[in-house]
Amino acid sequence: MTQIAVIVGSLRRDSYNRRLAQALEKLAPHDFQFQYLDISQLPLYNQDDDKQQAEVVLQFKQAISDSQALLFVTPEYNRSVPGVLKNALDHASRPYGKNVWAGKPAGVLGASIGAIGTALAQQHLRNILAYLDAPTLGQPEVFLKVDDKFFAEDGSVANEGSRKFLQGWMDAYAAWVKKHAA
Ligand code: FNR
């Protein structure tokens, strides 16, 4: 099995981005196992704690280390990544020299109720992932403007065109993961 660490950048109960991640899971190869990491319990990052990271932080880092690849599905907050996502990224990059993101192939996509579909948040996230040395799939890009009608009752993508487009993305991501996973 290929373990995929899924990080959703929203804590909202009915998050579109969480629903998008779950819809993507239905399009993934059978040997991909999605593990949804909980970033809601991570404390605010404080460099003083690097000497003794909290148990919840160590568990989060271990889950990333144990995975073969990363999948980020995030909203855009004020034209950037949500603070909770940046907090999680910072935690697992530290202490210095113990960055667990390094070398993990990554995919980035996002959904928004706004017209630009998280384009700026994704660009900021790509910048961060480049620095963290996580090889990130470049194309195709996925910028989704969504509403409740985007998802069918069973959680899949309702519109056939969108579903095909996301299947194409998933196929490219699966090939990327196979190429870059350790
Ligand atoms: C937003 N939203 C938003 N949308 C967007 O396209 N660009 C943006 O910069 C922002 N900024 C923003 C800031 C804050 C603080 C909030 C709460 C929201 C709207 C956003 O797309 C919408 O709330 C989505 O539903 C968030 O994704 P989830 O939580 O449904 O996954």
Of 76, 78, 151, best ligand 1 pocket probe by most atoms within 8 Å of the beta carbon: 76
- Residues 113, 82 contacting (CB under 8 angstroms): no
- Residues 146, 73 contacting (CB under 8 angstroms): no
What pLDDT is attached to residue 182?
Answer: 85
CA distance 61 to 50: 13
Q: What does the pLDDT look like over 48-92, one tens digit per residue?
A: 999 999 999 999 999 999 999 999 999 999 999 999 999 999 999
pTM: 0.98
CATH number of 2-180: 3.40.50.360
Question: Which ligand 1 atom sits closest to the C-alpha of 117?
Answer: 6
From 72, 3, 87, select the one nearest 40 (Cα to Cα).
Answer: 87
Q: What does the pLDDT look like over 13-29, one tens digit per residue?
A: 999 999 999 999 999 99
Distance 129 CA to ligand 1 centre (A): 21
From 169, 151, 123, 145, select the one nearest 14 (Cα to Cα).
Answer: 151
Whether 78 lines ligand 1, by a CB cut-off of 6 Å, is yes
Distance 45 CA to ligand 1 centre (A): 23
